[in-house]
Amino acid sequence: VSRHGVATALASTNDFETFTRHGIILPPQNKDVLLFPERIRDEYVAFHRPDPSAHFTSPEIWLASSPDLIHWGKHAPLHAGAGTWAMSRVGGGVPPFRVDEGWLEIYHGNTKTRDIHVVGTYSAAALLLDAENPHQVLKRTPDPIMVPEADFEREGFVQNVVFPTGLVERDDLLQVHYGAADTYCGVVEWSKKELLELLQ
């Protein structure tokens, strides 16, 4: 958070003791920035989410490319969510990861209530992107794959939140780490095969 609003900045390190700050790399307001773990066509690629509060368009996940992680361009919308569960906000979740069929992304969506004092419900779904052209969505889950159901997901600093942020892959098992109610951390395990079968 900066005086210009929510902004994405870059810092680098070789030893995790000293850091070089490179400044803001995407225009504010912008958040939910996730790097792909490898270059695609010799470029770095990232998800990002321009702030949807202007309401000129529905909330969307965007992609951008960079030759050096500092200068970003080729910004283009990727996905505007699917269904009422992601009408208010949609953005990245875990860093995208390779599967045989392409790139799998577990992302978040939000729907608000009429009560202006309530943030609404955060859930998660999955996208499958083309391996060489991640701007192409091949498949998606038609419904959320994670919704706040347990007490620790429904009650906390912000109610009704599951927000995927990390993933550990062990053979066919995917451990998705997520924030719950902005208070707790949780882990849910998926079979990779079962998750891919949910994509349509």
Tens of pLDDT, residues 111-154? 987 777 778 899 999 999 999 999 999 999 999 999 999 999 99
pLDDT tens digits along 18-49? 999 999 999 888 889 999 999 999 999 999 99
Residues 6+ apart with CB under 8 A from 22: 9, 10, 11, 12, 70
**Percent share of the chain, pLDDT over 70:** 96
pLDDT computed for residue 115 by the predictor: 75
Please, are residues 81 and 90 in contact by the beta-carbon 8 Å criterion? Answer: yes
What is the Cα–Cα distance from 111 to 119, expressed in whole angstroms? 8
What is the pLDDT of the chain when averaged over all its residues? 92
Count of beta carbons in the 10 Å neighbourhood of residue 52? 17
